[in-house]
């Protein structure tokens, strides 16, 4: 399998139906960090072959060079073998497997595809949340980069109604974040269905960032700006990170693990966190430079 990228931005992953030629072409010039070319839920069963052919045509015109390109395949069943054959033809960053519920789901896919590209696992069901620690523990050896939460299916199966603050879902979301962090995986928050209400979407992005998510899965280009903004470090965070890194780089701090910085006790672990934030900033700047 291909090696995991040293750092991958996933502030905004836009789902694009593989059957929608207009949306595919538009995705080339959008400012999202990645696109998820969807062969699963957004494509009717009798149009899967047509969607796969549309993706061949899309890649024949060149791969978008300024963003990650993920392919969401169908789960185990009638369509997956054809999806994997297509994936072998295309220059993709990773495969997205829907409705992962146990480590065995990822193991079977890896066995079916061989080395192949990296993987992302969609966490969309009660069983997935219950098994999330085991899935995360197995992920590294199977070439998994991260989790994407799917709340529409989780709500349906758990019978938790949709409500703006997602209060009843927060414990489950935090379990997914915690498992991802325990095993060094990225983790992306679920879609927000009402793409017309950008203010509500922005609040959900802020909530997701506060919970520790790396980014958000999107369903409409109108959501890109808010996702990129909320999952990027703020100017205040950047300034503080630079100050902390500089403070620990000073000669007098060379052998110290704790220093007094502007009236606060700062540990060296905070310097490590600051370096990660600045690395993210560097990748964001690189991504902006690539956008036409």
Higher pLDDT, 164 or 148: 148
Token output for 64: 């978008």
What are the beta bridge partners of residue 134?
Answer: none
Between 51 and 194, where is the model more confident? Answer: 51
What is the pLDDT at residue 114? 83
User: What pLDDT, on the 0 to 100 scale, is given for residue 195?
Assistant: 87
Burial environment of residue 281 by CB neighbours within 10 A (0 to 12, 13 to 18, 19 or more): middle
**Position 275 in a domain:** yes
- Name which of 275, 289, 207 is nearest 242 in CA terms: 275
Q: Is residue 143 part of a domain?
A: yes
- Asked whether residue 279 falls in the same domain as residue 165, the answer is no
What percentage of the chain exceeds 70 in pLDDT? 97
Residues 194, 111, single domain; the answer is yes
Q: Is residue 7 part of a domain?
A: no
Same domain, 84 and 107: yes
My answer on whether 59 and 201 are in the same domain is: yes
Long-range contacts of 282-287 (CB under 8 A, 24+ apart): 283/7, 283/9, 284/9, 284/11, 284/232, 287/9, 287/33, 287/66, 287/67
User: DSSP per residue over the chain, as a string?
Assistant: -PPPPS----SEEEEEETT-HHHHHHHTT---SEEEEESSTTS-GGGHHHHHHHHHHHHHT---TTSEEEEE---SSTTHHHHHHHHHHS--SEEEESS--SHHHHHHHHHHH-S-SEEEEEE-SHHHHHTHHHHHHHHGGGTEEEEEE-HHHHHHHHTPPP-TT-GGGHHHHHHHHHHHHHTT-EEEEPP-S-TT-HHHHHHHHHHHHHHT--EEEESSGGGHHHHHHHTSPPHHHHHHHHHHHHHHHSGGGTT-SEEEETTEEEEHHHHHHHHHHHHHHHHHHHHHHH--
- pLDDT on residue 7: 62
Please give the residue that has the higher pLDDT: either 286 or 97: 97
Over 80: is that where the pLDDT of 210 sits? yes
What pLDDT score was predicted for residue 6? 59
Do residues 207 and 166 make contact, with C-beta atoms less than 8 angstroms apart?
yes
Last residue of a domain, one of 182, 213, 230: 230
218 and 266 co-located in one domain: no
Q: Please check whether residues 174 and 267 belong to one and the same domain.
A: no
Cβ distance 101 to 131 under 8 Å? yes
Q: Give a yes or no: residue 50 inside a domain.
A: yes
The Cα angle at residue 202 between residues 198 and 208, in degrees rounded to 5: 140
130 plus 262 within the same structural domain: no
For the chain, the domain total comes to: 2
The total of other beta-carbon atoms located within 10 Å of residue 289's CB is 8
CA dist 276 and 284 (Å) reads: 12
The answer to whether residue 37 is domain-embedded is: yes
Measured CA distances, 36 to 16, 174, 199, 209, 255 (Å): 6, 24, 24, 21, 46
User: What mean pLDDT is predicted for residues 194-204?
Assistant: 93
| Structure confidence by residue, pLDDT tens digits, 214-268 | 999 999 999 999 999 999 999 999 999 999 999 999 888 888 899 888 888 989 9
pLDDT of residue 291: 66
The pLDDT assigned to 10 comes to: 94
- Which pLDDT belongs to residue 255? 86
Q: Are residues 175 and 256 in the same domain?
A: no
Mean pLDDT of all residues belonging to the chain: 93
Same domain? 225 vs 243: no
221 in the same domain as 108? yes
Q: Tell me what pLDDT residue 76 has.
A: 87
List the structure tokens of 18: 């593989």
Tell me: pLDDT of 163 over 70: yes
Q: Is residue 61 part of a domain?
A: yes
* Range name among 5-9, 88-92, 146-150, 157-161 with the lowest pLDDT average: 5-9
CA distance 98 to 291: 29
Identify whether residues 76 and 186 lie together within a single domain: yes
* pLDDT score of 19 more than 70: yes
**In 3D, which of 154, 117, 148, 152 has the Cα closest to residue 135?**
148
> What is the percent of the chain with per-residue pLDDT over 90, rounded to a whole number?
76
The CATH number of whichever domain residue 220 belongs to comes to: 3.20.20.60
* pLDDT tens sequence across 65-108: 789 999 999 998 889 999 999 999 999 999 999 999 999 999 99
Task: Indicate whether 249 and 222 sit together in one domain.
Answer: no
The residue range of the domain holding 53 is 12-230
């Amino acid at each position: 399998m291909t090696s995991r990228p040293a750092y991958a931005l996933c502030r905004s992953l836009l789902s694009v139906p593989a059957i929608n030629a207009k949306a595919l072409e538009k995705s080339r010039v959008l400012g999202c960090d990645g696109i998820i070319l969807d062969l699963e839920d957004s494509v009717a069963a009798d149009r899967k072959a047509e969607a796969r052919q549309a993706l061949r045509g899309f890649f024949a015109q060149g791969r978008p060079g300024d963003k990650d390109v993920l392919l969401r395949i169908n789960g185990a069943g009638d369509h997956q073998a054809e999806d994997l054959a297509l994936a072998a033809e295309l220059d993709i960053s990773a495969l997205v497997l829907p409705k992962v519920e146990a480590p065995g789901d990822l193991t079977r896919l890896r066995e079916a595809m061989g080395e192949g590209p990296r993987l992302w696992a969609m966490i969309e069901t009660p069983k997935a949340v219950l098994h999330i620690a085991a899935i995360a523990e197995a992920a590294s050896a199977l070439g998994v980069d991260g989790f994407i939460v799917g709340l529409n299916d989780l709500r349906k199966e758990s019978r938790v109604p949709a409500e703006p603050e997602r209060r009843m879902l927060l414990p489950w979301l935090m379990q997914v974040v915690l498992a991802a962090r325990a095993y060094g995986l990225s983790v992306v928050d679920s879609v927000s269905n009402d793409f017309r209400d950008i203010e509500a979407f922005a609040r959900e992005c802020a909530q997701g960032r506060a919970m520790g998510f790396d980014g958000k899965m999107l369903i409409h280009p109108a959501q890109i700006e808010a996702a990129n903004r909320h999952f990027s470090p703020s100017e205040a965070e950047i300034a503080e990170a630079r100050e902390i890194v500089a403070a620990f780089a000073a000669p007098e701090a060379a052998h110290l693990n704790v220093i007094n910085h502007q009236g606060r006790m700062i540990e060296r672990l905070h310097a490590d966190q600051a370096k990660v934030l600045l690395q993210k900033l560097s990748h964001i700047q690189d991504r902006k430079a690539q956008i036409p």
